[in-house]
């Protein structure tokens, strides 16, 4: 992936207090037949779009932002 995408994903990890491996594993477990790289990109866009809609980020624990972005980007079957 492009450096800007990696930087965005790392920023999300910091905000959510999760490791890169933890976030990627969550995406990988949900993506079904979709390409992992594409699923990560869609997740990043969904995360930031959700944040804009909520006018900010939650700083405590696993935020509803993370859950909503994950559900919107990589829905469970």
DSSP 7-23: HHHHHHHHHHT--HHHH
pTM of the model: 0.71
CB atoms within 10 A of CB 62: 11
Question: What confidence score (pLDDT) does residue 7 get?
Answer: 94
Query: What is the spatial distance between Cα 58 and Cα 32, in angstroms, rounded to a whole number?
Result: 28
Task: Write out pLDDT tens, residues 11-36.
Answer: 999 999 999 999 999 999 999 999 99
CB neighbour list of residue 55: distance below 8 Å, 6 or more residues apart = none
**Structural contact between residues 15 and 60, judged by C-beta atoms closer than 8 angstroms:** no
């Amino acid at each position: 992936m492009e450096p800007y995408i990696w930087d965005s994903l790392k920023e999300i990890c910091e905000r959510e207090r999760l490791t890169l491996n933890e976030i990627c594993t969550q995406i990988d477990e949900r993506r079904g037949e979709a390409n992992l790289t594409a699923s990560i990109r869609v997740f990043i866009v969904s995360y930031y779009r959700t944040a804009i809609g909520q006018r900010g980020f939650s700083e405590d624990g696993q935020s509803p932002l993370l859950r909503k972005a994950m559900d919107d980007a990589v829905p469970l079957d």
